[in-house]
């Protein structure tokens, strides 16, 4: 029953949006290994862990001029880099998730990630959407953005009904190696804020 309600909630956010252009025409997607990402300058797209240690990556988006209520994407990892299968956890308010990171995820927030959640700022940017956790086996590899099979690169804004824009990949993640290059560059660094205050918004 919970799965059905989640599906209906996300469908309500996404389905009306299909034919509309949204308020985030230049949104960029990134992967960072730095748990303190208060601005674009703090994104760290490579990590060099010791073999047989835990690795955490954060999935985020930036240049969200109107804020966001969710996104659809998938991730891929180099075979042999992690074991067992890594896990993904949504960090958006409400934690609404459909799908798996391998086959396609749709994340939806129960509230708009903008000034309503962060008084004194025009909008929250970047938004850390989720956390990817794996156990590194010592073989260098990649964590890469992959298109969702049904909603490729969708990012919903905070209109009612939500409207859709399409992200481009700013950074992938490299584990023990340089990451695969992205397609676009993010804007200049945004206003700094502490990781604890950002993370508190996603509980």
Q: Mind listing the domains of the chain with CATH numbers? A: 2-187 (2.60.40.680)
Please tell me the distance from the alpha carbon of residue 106 to that of residue 72, in angstroms, as a whole number.
4
0.75 surpassed by pTM:
yes
Span 38-80, pLDDT tens digits? 677 889 999 999 999 999 999 999 988 788 899 999 999 999 9
Distances from the Cα of 34 to the Cαs of 42, 78, 110, 122, in angstroms?
7, 20, 26, 24
Span 176-198, pLDDT tens digits? 999 999 999 887 554 333 334 44
- pLDDT category of residue 147 using cuts at 50, 70 and 90: very high
Span 112-123, pLDDT tens digits? 886 445 555 555
Distances from the Cα of 202 to the Cαs of 59, 88, 94, in angstroms?
13, 14, 8
Residue of 29, 75, 65 lying closest to 167 (CA atoms): 29
Please tell me the distance from the alpha carbon of residue 89 to that of residue 59, in angstroms, as a whole number.
10
What residues form DSSP beta bridges with 155? 71, 165
Q: What is the DSSP letter of 194?
A: -
Please tell me the distance from the alpha carbon of residue 145 to that of residue 101, in angstroms, as a whole number.
10
Burial class of residue 23, CB neighbours in 10 A (0-12, 13-18, 19+)? buried
């Amino acid at each position: 029953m919970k799965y059905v309600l989640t599906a209906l909630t996300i469908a309500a956010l996404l389905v009306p949006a299909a034919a509309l252009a949204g308020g985030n025409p230049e949104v960029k997607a990134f992967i960072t290994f730095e748990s303190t990402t208060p601005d674009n300058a703090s994104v760290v797209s490579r990590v060099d862990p010791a073999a047989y240690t835990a690795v955490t990556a954060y999935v985020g988006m930036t240049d969200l001029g109107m804020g966001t209520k969710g996104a659809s994407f998938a991730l891929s990892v180099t075979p042999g880099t992690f074991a067992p299968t890594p896990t993904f956890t949504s960090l958006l308010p409400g934690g609404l998730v459909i799908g798996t990171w391998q086959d396609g995820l749709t994340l939806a927030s129960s509230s708009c990630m903008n000034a309503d959640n962060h008084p004194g700022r025009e909008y929250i940017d970047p938004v850390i959407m989720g956390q990817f956790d794996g156990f590194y086996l010592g073989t260098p590899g990649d964590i890469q953005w992959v298109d969702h099979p049904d909603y490729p690169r969708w990012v919903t804004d905070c209109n009612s009904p939500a409207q859709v824009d399409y992200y481009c990949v700013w950074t992938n993640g490299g584990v023990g190696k340089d990451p695969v290059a992205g397609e676009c560059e993010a804007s200049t660094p945004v206003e700094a804020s502490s990781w604890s205050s950002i993370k508190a918004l996603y509980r």
